[in-house]
Structure 1
Amino acid sequence: MKTNLLFLLVAFFFSKEMAAQKFDNLAMTPPMGWNSWNSFQCDGVNETVIKEMADAMITSGFKDVGYEYIVIDDCWQIGRDENGYILVDKEKFPSGIKSLVAYVHSKGLKFGIYSDAGTKTCAGRPGSKGFERQDAETYAKWDVDYLKYDWCFTEGQDAITSYTLMRDELFKAGRPIVFSICEWGENKPWEWAKDVGHLWRTTLDIDMEARYDGNIWGNLYGWSDLVDMQVGLEKYAGPGHWNDPDMLAVGNNNMPENEARAHFSMWCMLAAPLMAGNDLRDMTEIDQKILTNKELIAINQDVLGKQGFKIEDFGNFEIWQKPLANGDMAICFFNREITNKNFEINWANIKIKDFEGDYKLKDLWTNEVVGSTDASMTIDVPSRDVIVFRLSK
């Protein structure tokens, strides 16, 4: 009798332990995909748009270079039934979410959805507070692959408790789902979220309209400001747990080519999730080439999983380093000035970590080998732009 009781207690203990965890072996490199909010927000999102975005991800070449998630942001939900299960807005999604997920999966892509840890979403739709179990079960039943979980209408809630609760319910529901924590960095998630989610926002939302004003690049939360907020966070990122400075703004609000190139490059250097937010059906050739640059995406998706870090700061001219697998590294020269920057590189004098011997240099935007580190060289970095080299032994 005692043996049976002991067995039951041990089994209960391990069942509780197994329930209290996130899914492992997901997001081993930063997630890549597309999110509906930046282009369509609440009023513009619907079933047709999502299907056309899935189609466009194929025809635009995005899928070929690694983009895989199609994520519906806010405004797909409208209420709850008598048992607390979420109801889909049938005007926007007449076929339902499960059917839409099947369509996205038929394209060889993955499907992401949105909810909120509070009583309501940021757009005022039903949140998940008090209904975490029902929502997790629903997402699993629909074959969802990714959940973005926001932080609006959470007055009085504890972030760690709220996000851990949804983590546990997702795990209990049994379907591996990438868990994207979106509490805007308010509670320093980099310090506690490694075992809770697969990525976590480190900042408030990106300001897509931020532009140069004199010598100042954008307003607070322009994308370059978000870069500054990542300094020092590199030690918290790695396979399965990523710092997230928000979605890409490339292709929105007529972002100039130079800024778009710099923005995309820095997200790749930061090992940030690459979530496009532009209309994939209607983008310029320039934006398409930027967002599908295989060499930069390889830096972002490098299996070593190291976030880049700043190694030199000359005011509005910075040098960043990202360690890569097999001893390679990426070095980014980031010019934040409104004028071009002529810079002589003496490789031995730059504070590059673990720099030993001679490296071949490949310019990742021209896709050309341009020499090696055994000799000094002069570069001209255009205003509000970057030059990124891959250094290989």
Structure 2
Amino acid sequence: MIMRPCIGSFLVTFLFSFLLQRVVIFGARFRAVKEQAWSPPRGWNSYDSFCWTVSEEEFLQNARLVAQRLRTHGYEYVVVDYLWYRRKVNGAGVDSLGFDVIDEWGRMIPDPDRWPSSRGGKGLSEVAKIVHGMGLKFGIHVMRGMSTQAFNANTPILDITTGKAYEENGRKWLAKDVGIKERACAWMQHGFMSVNAKSGAGRAFLRSLYQQYADWGVDFVKHDCVFGEDLDLDEISYVSKVLSGLNHSVLYSLSPGTSVTPAMAKSVNGLVNMYRITGDDWDTWGDVASHFDISREFSAANMIGAQGLHGKSWPDLDMLPLGWLTNAGSNEGPHRKCNLNIDEQRTQMTLWSMVKSPLMFGGDMRQLDDTTFKIITNPTLLEINSFSSNNKEFPYITSQNGLELKDHGSSETLTFGLTSCHDSKARGWSARATGLDLEQVCWKRNLSEGQNDPFCLYKKQPLLLPGVDMRYKHHYDGKVHLLETGRLESCLGASPNQKLTSKEFERGSFSTCRWDANQMWQLNANGTLENSYSGLCASMNKIKVNSGTNGIRAWTASGRNGEIYVAFFNLNPSNVVMSMKISDLGKALPGKNFENAYALCKCREEWSGKDFFVVKESLSIEVVSHGCALFILNCS
């Protein structure tokens, strides 16, 4: 009788302590998830230096050096890029078939010759443990949907809730029941295809993939061939849902980004943490220069640091191909120096930082030279990349000849593009008859005054070709081919047949007509023209072509301690003196007023180390060809 109050008191205390501990643990987990990608992710990726050939030994050698040299600078992810499951033997390549290692459920598992710790069903778990022991996070590259190899083998689908083959409606479902062969990855057509992410079996297959990655200890997933011209919103949405339900946070990245628009990005940004907005970036000046326009578009659309998966999302300009590299599509590892000169490398790193792109270094860490190291760890740039705000292009600059960045002598032209079908800019297509018993699909919006002829394509009903699996015929009901003329058999396609790297491309291209979802279009009642392969809609966009562009750009950003960052970029082949008025800063930075005659700014330029001391009215500097200048201003 005397002990009962003590026991009761003890139990109450114990339960209270236990519950408090659970709340603390849950709260810590909740905060960790909520803070996912609160700043642009930073790390190392194997692609630029190894293409697909990296081995476990090579990867871990690089990871150790990231831990030793880059971790203190915020580089925390080490990512194995694509085809870690492909055997490195004669005949194997980027788009080869029959060399992948899959398990009984059709899931990719590491090539045991390149990844010996994976033997015995361990997958990449041993590698992940080693990486975590270094204080780093482990990432992998994965492709869309299902491998062609699994489809051809018609493997069963794992139901992770039972540990057995997935069953529905009284039967077991197999790979060929959910794989969509007609939606093969455009740049790896022999490798992977979409799955039906709306079916129970298709979702079970995707769930089994990403649960396995989580079981291995993966912290970062780079999901390829589901975005841009290959958009598969159903798969992205379901994968995001699966990742959200895991016991630990997994950063979700999308790739590649050809033909991406802000409107398209708004359909996925809340589902992911980073997404490519360009094709592959390699070490050519043309690749670097091509990122300025797309960066401006996404900044103007307020997409930098927008809502993401359990945190924020970041438009991704692709990896930094600096240092010791390989070649795109190569079967060999790092063997050459970066082709960009020192000024071009500084320009790339400065732009990536000013637009707050994720920073994923691609060079071989074993050959990291001091010059490259100083560029990718520059403390001012890393501060800007993580903590700046109000990042935007700054148009109020002039060159020595007095030309401003604004349009001069510009004309307009229509270009074919792809965008989300929910984008109002996609509405403007309609059908019209001709006098030749042919029907056309025409774009009638955005016509200039006095211009009566719309842009038109000829409709043709596609014929069912021999060899086409009848199960997929319903995918093409109501779809048409679109021809350049009424006679030539040249059809409009909406996606490239190979992976885009640094080469220019046409967003819409004509080629020999075939039974291919890439060339199938549907004219919808709301005036949109939808492509069957990507689910994107065509639009004709007005763009301005500058007849006298002077190749100068600038970006501004606000620092977290009141600093103002201004970056000048010279895209010209010769040196240019660039200038700006201090009073114009107020036009770009909200809440700032620089019209006061007594406004003064202390100024330093980062790359030269030059101290401009006090700047009152204007700022001017000569910027070398393809180079940049980065100013840090403290104004009162």
| Structure 1 residue 133, shift from structure 2 partner | 0.7
**Structure 2 counterpart SS, 1:86:** coil
For 2:222, the equivalent position in structure 1 comes to 148
For 2:578, the equivalent position in structure 1 comes to 343
From 308, 320, 323, the equivalent of 1:248 is 320
Deviation string 1:260-309 (CA, Å, 9 cap, x unpaired) is 0011000001100000111111032211111111111110111x555432
For 2:277, the equivalent position in structure 1 comes to 202
From 75, 91, 97, the equivalent of 2:113 is 91
Residues 1:285 and 1:326: Cα distance change in structure 2 (over 3 Å): closer
What is the rounded CA distance, in whole Å, between the counterparts of 1:306 and 1:94 in structure 2?
A: 48
Extract unaligned runs of 5+ from structure 1: 1-22, 212-217
Tell whether 2:89 aligns with 1:79.
Answer: no
For 1:138, the equivalent position in structure 2 comes to 212
**How does the TM-score come out when normalised to structure 2?**
0.53
Q: Give the CA RMSD over aligned residues.
A: 2.6
1:61-72 to 2 correspondences below 5 Å: 61-72=69-80
Q: Single out whichever of 129-138 and 329-338 deviates more from structure 2.
A: 129-138
From 272, 296, 304, the equivalent of 1:237 is 304
Whether the 8 Å contact between 2:568 and 2:630 is mirrored in structure 1 is: yes
| Structure 1 residue 380, shift from structure 2 partner | 1.6
For 1:16, the equivalent position in structure 2 comes to none
For 1:111, the equivalent position in structure 2 comes to 138
Alignment length, in residue pairs? 358
For 1:262, the equivalent position in structure 2 comes to 347
| Structure 1 residue 375, shift from structure 2 partner | 4.2
**Structure 1 counterpart SS, 2:339:** coil
Q: Single out whichever of 347-356 and 335-344 deviates more from structure 2.
A: 347-356
For 2:42, the equivalent position in structure 1 comes to 32
Whether the 8 Å contact between 1:227 and 1:245 is mirrored in structure 2 is: no
| Structure 1 residue 360, shift from structure 2 partner | 2.6
What is the rounded CA distance, in whole Å, between the counterparts of 1:128 and 1:62 in structure 2?
A: 37
For 1:7, the equivalent position in structure 2 comes to none
Tell whether 2:340 aligns with 1:330.
Answer: no
For 1:316, the equivalent position in structure 2 comes to 551
What is the rounded CA distance, in whole Å, between the counterparts of 1:277 and 1:367 in structure 2?
A: 27
What is the rounded CA distance, in whole Å, between the counterparts of 1:105 and 1:316 in structure 2?
A: 45
**How does the TM-score come out when normalised to structure 1?**
0.83
What is the rounded CA distance, in whole Å, between the counterparts of 1:378 and 1:84 in structure 2?
A: 61
From 125, 143, 159, the equivalent of 2:232 is 159
What is the rounded CA distance, in whole Å, between the counterparts of 1:358 and 1:153 in structure 2?
A: 46
From 619, 627, 635, the equivalent of 1:385 is 627
From 353, 356, 361, the equivalent of 2:589 is 353
Whether the 8 Å contact between 1:128 and 1:135 is mirrored in structure 2 is: no
Whether the 8 Å contact between 1:79 and 1:125 is mirrored in structure 2 is: no
What is the identity, as a one-letter code, of the residue corresponding to 2:63? A
| Structure 1 residue 186, shift from structure 2 partner | 3.8
| Structure 1 residue 223, shift from structure 2 partner | 1.6
What is the rounded CA distance, in whole Å, between the counterparts of 2:193 and 2:562 in structure 1?
A: 46
Extract unaligned runs of 5+ from structure 2: 1-32, 86-99, 119-123, 148-184, 196-201, 307-311, 326-337, 397-404, 407-549, 594-598
Tell whether 2:372 aligns with 1:281.
Answer: no
Whether the 8 Å contact between 1:146 and 1:177 is mirrored in structure 2 is: yes
For 1:372, the equivalent position in structure 2 comes to 614
For 1:226, the equivalent position in structure 2 comes to 291
Whether the 8 Å contact between 1:144 and 1:177 is mirrored in structure 2 is: yes
Higher relative contact order (CA 8 A, sep 6+): 1
Whether the 8 Å contact between 1:330 and 1:388 is mirrored in structure 2 is: yes
| Structure 1 residue 50, shift from structure 2 partner | 0.9
**Structure 1 counterpart SS, 2:295:** coil
Residues 1:271 and 1:74: Cα distance change in structure 2 (over 3 Å): same
| Structure 1 residue 114, shift from structure 2 partner | 0.9
Whether the 8 Å contact between 2:237 and 2:271 is mirrored in structure 1 is: yes
